[in-house]
Amino acid sequence: MRRRVGTTGLDVPADDVTVLALLRLAEESAGRAFLDELLDREQGLLAGTIILVNGDNVRGGDGLRTRVRAGDKVDLFSPAGGG
């Protein structure tokens, strides 16, 4: 995903939005599509996708409905390729 976006990080100004909304803002900010590497067609997390908000995996909470506030750190890990 890093190669596709062309950077190791993005600063996306947002406050009190869902992870899904933040991802859409980040994709828009990057100017390159990358959500297909994280989400399925129904906008759910692909198997193997890991999204951490301040170190906590969103799968253990509200998933893509997890709220993100200004200053939170969000880490994205797309599913590992194999073969």
| Homologous superfamily, domain 2-77 | Beta-grasp domain (3.10.20.30)
Burial string for 5-37 (b: 16+ CB within 10 Å, else e) reads beeeeeebebeebbbbebbebbbeeeeeebeee
For residue range 1-18, list pLDDT tens digits in order. Answer: 566 666 677 778 889 999
| All structural domains of the chain with their residue ranges | 2-77
Q: Is 35 helix (H, G, I), strand (E, B) or coil?
A: helix
pLDDT tens digits, 56-75: 999 999 999 999 999 999 99
Rounded to whole angstroms, how far apart are CA atoms 67 and 48? 21
Kindly state the average pLDDT of the residues 26-47.
Answer: 90
Helix %, strand %, coil % for the chain, to 5? 30, 20, 50
Confidence of residue 32 (pLDDT cuts 50, 70, 90): confident
Predicted structure pTM score: 0.84
